[in-house]
Amino acid sequence: MEIRKLDQMFEVLASRAKKRLVAAWAIDAHTIVAVAEAVKIGIIEAILVGDETLIKKRLQRS
C-alpha cells in the first residue's frame, strides 16, 4: 500500500501488532501528549519514566 497521507500511515500502524514505547524522563507536555495519542489510536503500549507527580500534573493540564 502506498501511503500518501498521515491518516493512511496511522491506519496501517493500527492494523499491526502494538509496539512498546518507554519514554525516559517524560515530564514535558509534548512527549506526554504524543504518547497519549499513540496509545489512544492503538499503535503502542507506553511506559512513562520520570517524576510521577510532574507527569500527573502535565496529564491534568492536557
Nearest to 7 by CA among 59, 43, 45: 43
Q: If you write DSSP's letter for every residue of 1-62 in order, what string do you get?
A: ----SHHHHHHHHHTSPPEEEEETT--SHHHHHHHHHHHHTTSEEEEE-S-HHHHHHHHHH-
Q: What is the pTM of this model?
A: 0.81
- 6-58: per-residue pLDDT in tens? 999 999 999 999 999 999 999 998 999 999 999 999 999 999 999 999 998 88
